[in-house]
A and B are shown apart, each in its own frame.
Chain A
Amino acid sequence: MDNLQDTILQKIRDGKLTMRPRFYFTLKAAALVLVALGVLVVSIFLCNFIFFIIRINGHESLLARPGGIFLFLRFFPWGLLVIDAALIVLLEVLLKSFRFGYKSPIVYTTIAVLAVVIPLGFAIDRATDINDRVLERADHHGLPPPFGELYEHAHRPLPAEFLPENREDEIIETR
């Protein structure tokens, strides 16, 4: 180990050991930020889409019925929620690469992420007509994957036996 210093310096002098340029790290950091932002955007979109499915299929009305909470949970798009949760976990892992991320307890960063994802997802669905326009477009012109698949399967009407009395005629056919 006496010659560790010499070995390393010799490698540097021979050009076998070189420093990576600063822009390499700048690009790496920028890529990390972009990936994290991308994951955040997809996560907000999925959350918005969950609210959209609930709205367009009238699942919220189930909550007003006695025992409706069980039906609401039964028809909830759990698959999308699981994917969204996985994205939030991925986002947490990415955030831990940043100084502010690892310095904060996981519960705090998760609450911060949820405080962005859920209200934004809700606001996009309820305060804008983006989803309705995209659905209309998907119905009439088709959309490239994965949006086409998602929106074409957005209609999940309740089976007739779960509809409240006199509600069958209220189902609106959008296709």
Chain B
Amino acid sequence: MTDEELALAVQAGTPDMFAPLVERYQEKLLRYGRKFLNSPEDIEDIVQDVFVSAYQNMQSFDASQKFSPWVYRIAHNAFVNGLKKKSRNPLVYVDFDTFLSHPVYDDPVPHERELDELKVMLEKSLDTLDYKYREVLVLYYLEEISYKDIADILQVPQGTVGVRLKRAREALGKAYEDLNKKYG
């Protein structure tokens, strides 16, 4: 059964169908959370809250849409709140990339070697990046979510995802370079 079919079954009153959804997404959401928070206990608590919230709000899920961006959107909000509690710097920022229209490109398909390199860079330098760049890189390269779905998760125009990803790659490259200079 697809995620959407399972969600429909839960909406129709078969709560046991929620179990496979939890099973499919718990590892993904834990991995997603580890890119933002350090404490495993905090991450586990937040992921549990995400599933609680997903179940409570299941009737708001539109089964004609994909389930994945919907649950990631809940996780995004939960982790942003978790980060706000942990961080001394507020995460509220004005994103000028959402002001104007940007061309919407098809998702570029990176070569496998390029992808491997990016993943290595991500693992090493992610902590040094701004939150807004970190998240888009994680969603695209590690969670392998499409531009369109990332736009739904972050609730920004699709063109903004492309621009943010481009800037994030540049920031990542610079951060990785700095790290290599520092530690050889």
A residues at B contact (CB < 8 Å): 1, 4-5, 7-9, 11-13, 17-22, 24-25, 96, 102-108
Q: Which of B59, B151, B157 contacts A20 (CB 8 A)?
A: B59
CB distance from B98 to the nearest CB of A (A): 6
Task: Name the residue on A nearest B22 (C-beta).
Answer: A5
Main secondary structure of the interface of B (DSSP, over half): helix
Q: Which residues of chain A are within 8 angstroms of B18 by Cβ–Cβ distance?
A: 8-9, 12
| Number of inter-chain CB pairs below 8 Å | 76
Q: Which of B55, B60, B157 contacts A12 (CB 8 A)?
A: B55
B residues at A contact (CB < 8 Å): 10-11, 15-16, 18-19, 22-23, 26, 30, 44, 47-48, 51-52, 55-60, 98-102, 151, 155-160
Main secondary structure of the interface of A (DSSP, over half): helix
Task: Name the residue on B nearest A5 (C-beta).
Answer: B22
CB distance from A10 to the nearest CB of B (A): 11
Known contacts A105-B98, A105-B100, A105-B157; A20 and B56 CB within 8 A of each other: yes
Known contacts A19-B59, A25-B59; A4 and B99 CB within 8 A of each other: no
Check if A19 sits within 8 Å of B55, measured CB to CB: yes
Check if A96 sits within 8 Å of B155, measured CB to CB: yes
Q: Which of A17, A18, A22, A104 contacts B157 (CB 8 A)?
A: A104
